[in-house]
Copies of this chain bind each other. A is one copy, B any other.
Amino acid sequence: MHRYRITIEYDGGPFVGWQRQINGPSVQQAIEDAIHAFSGETVTLFGAGRTDAGVHALGQVAHFDLERYFPAHKVHGAVNAHLRDLPIVLRDVEAVDENFHARFSARERTYLYRILNRPARPALDKGRVWWVPQPLDAAAMHAAAQTLTGKHDFTTFRAKFCQAKSPVKTLDTLDIARRGEEIVVSVQARSFLHHQVRNLVGTLKLVGEGKWTAQDITAALAACDRAAGGPTAPAAGLYLVEVRY
């Protein structure tokens, strides 16, 4: 048995998400099919983050096992050749030992959320950003966000259908800054609840608009109730940037 670790970039737009589903094409299925096409083996891919439909990745990580041995660079070239018509590319392939698990060995995940904050809708970045036409105060959003870092019960920011055993997570960083017409949110944690980043961004946007204060954010977190939080930000602005082991 030979285990491979792959690092993947994809445009989530055309997919039902990372995970294999019966209702449409998934990133996982596309890569499993490409592995089968070159190796003849039917594999199951384990991803570090199960990104939702429309969510993008710059550096998703996954692993799979092959019976037969191939050098990593052969796997890399062959899988990318079979993926060439899809907006999915393996950035890196590495042979790893069988103790490596893309999901359970991960020590830190970094997500990026892009808000296009200008009056005109996006033309070039359609499907790649959340368009918010009214001006947002990025500094106020960043200040309010700092009350959310550290270890908390994140029930307020957790999707109802989230399957995690515990709602307690440790948010290592939640940085928000304006870069020209964009507001860029960078979030790091060992692991996240389902929709946690999108729910955090959707709620902090209320601070950016001046509708909520930093105190409202603190109160929402303390309520431990999804109904106390703001709306879920759209999938299109979210990117899984990096997974560290």
Contact = CB atoms under 8 A, between A and B. Distances in A.
Interface centre among A118, A120, A126 (most CB of B within 10 A): A120
B124 A10 contact: yes
A206 B77 CA distance: 25
A56 B119 CA distance: 20
A125 to B, nearest CB: 9
Contact of A122 (B89, B92, B119, B124): B89
A121 B80 CA distance: 9
Interface string A71-98: 0000000001000100111111000000
Contacts of A22: none
Contacts of A88: 123
Main secondary structure of the interface of A (DSSP, over half): loop
A124 B56 contact: yes
In the complex this chain forms, how many copies of it are found?
Answer: 2
Interface in A1-38: 9-11
A124 to B, nearest CB: 5
A53 to B, nearest CB: 16
Interface string A124-150: 101010000000000000000000000
A11 B56 contact: no
Contacts of A56: 124
Contacts of A90: 120
B91 A10 contact: no
A122 B84 CA distance: 10
A58 interface: yes
Given A58-B124, A80-B121, A84-B121, 6 more contacts: A9-B122, A11-B124, A11-B126, A87-B124, A91-B118, A91-B119
19 contacts: A9-B120, A9-B122, A9-B123, A10-B123, A10-B124, A11-B123, A56-B124, A80-B120, A80-B121, A87-B123, A87-B124, A87-B126, A88-B123, A89-B120, A89-B121, A89-B122, A89-B123, A91-B118, A124-B128
